[in-house]
Amino acid sequence: MKIGQRRFASICLLGLMGFVLLAGCASTAPTSPIVNNVSPTVTATQATPTATVNQTSTVLASFVGKWVSHDDQLTIAANGTGVENWNAGPCTGGIAGLCTGIGDLTFTVSAGGSLTGTYQTVSYESSSGPVPSNYQPTPGYPVVGNTISLKHNGADLLAAMVNGNSFNYCDPTALSQGQCGA
């Protein structure tokens, strides 16, 4: 072999080796084995967090507003927080002062389009000044950590459950139609 032919053969050999190396690097994706002449199927799934957020926002929006029941008012804000105010009866003995219970809530959307609120704080105020130091709320009133469950009971009513007690809240429309008796 002459020098020119050796160079040509060397160049061809180097070119062939480079081609083989490039071909080996071209596909770095793992391959799936074929079993019984059936290729595995890969299905791409895509999470849709936007749809879940929109659904949660829509459900929450249907509860936003002021709701009343006998001696009780619940206000739910669009950000998922709320405040409940309830008549807690006399707090100084007799009729000298009446107490109001105040519960700050955070709400989450539950299965089936209902809401669950968790009491973050609970406090009491007196209509006649400071709450007496010996005041004890009636057992069964909400405490921090209790929950309230709410679900729509028609267009203008909410069915509520707190500490085993169930009742309805009315929106202004139901209240004006005498549906709550509040």
The answer to whether residue 80 is domain-embedded is yes
Higher pLDDT, 157 or 180: 157
Domain holding 63, by residue range, is 57-176
Give residue 9's pLDDT. Answer: 39
Token reading at 21? 């190396």
pLDDT at 180: 73
Q: Which residue matches tokens 């009742």? A: 167
Of 37 and 70, the structure prediction assigns the larger pLDDT to 70
- For residue 27, being part of any structural domain is answered with no
Candidate from 76-80, 142-146, 151-155, 177-181 with smallest mean pLDDT: 177-181
What is the pLDDT, as a whole number, of residue 52?
53
Within a domain: residue 26?
Answer: no
Looking at residue 155, its pLDDT comes to: 82
Among 28-42, 57-71, 88-102, the range of highest mean pLDDT: 57-71
Whether residue 43 has pLDDT greater than 80: no
| 128 in a structural domain | yes
Q: Do the domain assignments include residue 71?
A: yes
User: In terms of C-beta density within 10 A (0-12 exposed, 13-18 middle, 19 or more buried), how is residue 158 classed?
Assistant: buried
- Using 50, 70 and 90 to split pLDDT, how confident is the model at 68? very high
Task: Tally the domains of the chain.
Answer: 1
Asked if residue 104 is part of any domain, the answer here is yes
**Mean pLDDT on 157-177:** 90
Q: Is the pLDDT of residue 83 over 50?
A: yes
Q: How confident is the model at residue 94 (pLDDT cuts 50, 70, 90)?
A: low
Give the pairing type, strands 65-69 and 72-76.
antiparallel
Over residues 105-154, the pLDDT tens digits come to 999 998 889 999 999 999 999 988 888 888 889 888 999 999 999 999 98
Phi, psi (degrees; rounded to nearest 5) at 80: 90, 15
Examine residue 168 and state whether it is found in any structural domain, yes or no.
yes
Report pLDDT for 96.
63
> Is 115 part of a structural domain of the chain?
yes
Residue 29: per-residue pLDDT: 43
